[in-house]
């Protein structure tokens, strides 16, 4: 499976107010392995960034004035993401800006070029309800080093998101056991001899959280959650 992890930085929060993309980046993952291929450009948005946006990404008008405009890189961008699964944190924000840029180039919407768009923020909220699920919080939760993330940068954030996603979803792989592999002959009675086993039943709230976690895993694995199939 070919997946593209994507991020943008913009001049402001509202695309309807004429804000534009100032940086775009995407990294490629194939079969759950980073390939080293990436797409990255700083862009001249042909307008000023709001002060609040500038504090986030630090990309000044002076720095961006000699950079390409989105139409200059549009075709290369489409070629990079075409027929891949796109994964974006808080996808509606980035998709709205990319749809706008594509429309200005007389191109189709983003979803028409990829197989699916997955919002990793929704996935994180399903796995960790009631907790902080921004990129920094997820990096800390999954022990992904983000100490060099002082300002937001599209390329760095795409790479961090890929690392977080692979760790967030790796448990499913470990459940895909090979039943053809010989199992050592171990006597259960001998192994448990002398042990005092205490079984604590899950309370209703724990069962509900467990069900939501399985549902999220099943969604990510496209219906291949082993635990759910065993319980069917």
Among residues 38, 89, 152, 210, the one annotated as catalytic is 152
Closest C-alpha among 86, 168, 172, 88 to residue 127: 168
For residue 146, indicate whether it is catalytic.
no
Q: What angle do CA 13, 62, 73 make, to 5 degrees?
A: 65
Q: Is 102 left (phi over 0), alpha (psi -120 to 50) or beta?
A: alpha
Beta bridge partners of 9: 23
Distance CA 32, CA 167 (A): 10
Distance CA 161, CA 62 (A): 29
The secondary element (H helix, E strand) that includes residue 55 is helix 51-57
Specify the 3-state DSSP secondary structure of 226.
helix
Strand intervals (E) in 2-61: 2-10, 21-30, 33-42
- Catalytic sites, residue numbers: 152
């Amino acid at each position: 499976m070919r997946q593209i992890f994507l991020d943008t930085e913009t001049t402001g929060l509202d695309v309807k107010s004429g804000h534009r993309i100032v940086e775009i980046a995407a990294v490629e993952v194939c079969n759950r392995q980073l390939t080293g291929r990436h797409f990255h450009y700083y862009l001249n948005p042909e307008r000023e960034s709001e002060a609040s946006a500038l504090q986030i990404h630090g990309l000044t008008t002076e720095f961006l004035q000699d950079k390409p405009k989105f139409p200059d890189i549009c075709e290369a961008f489409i070629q990079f993401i075409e027929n891949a699964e796109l994964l974006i944190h808080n996808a509606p924000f980035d998709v709205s800006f990319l749809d706008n840029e594509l429309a200005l180039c007389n191109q189709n919407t983003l979803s028409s070029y990829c197989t699916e768009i997955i919002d990793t923020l929704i996935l994180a909220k399903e796995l960790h309800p009631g907790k902080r699920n921004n990129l920094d919080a997820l990096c800390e939760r999954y022990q992904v080093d983000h100490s060099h993330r002082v300002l937001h940068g599209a390329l760095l954030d795409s790479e961090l998101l890929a690392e977080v996603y692979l760790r967030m979803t790796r448990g499913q792989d470990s459940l895909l056991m090979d039943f053809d592999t010989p199992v050592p002959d171990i006597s259960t009675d001998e192994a448990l001899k002398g042990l005092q086993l205490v079984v604590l039943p899950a309370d209703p709230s724990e069962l509900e959280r467990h069900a939501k976690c399985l549902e999220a895993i099943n969604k990510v694995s496209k219906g291949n959650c082993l635990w759910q199939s065993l319980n069917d």
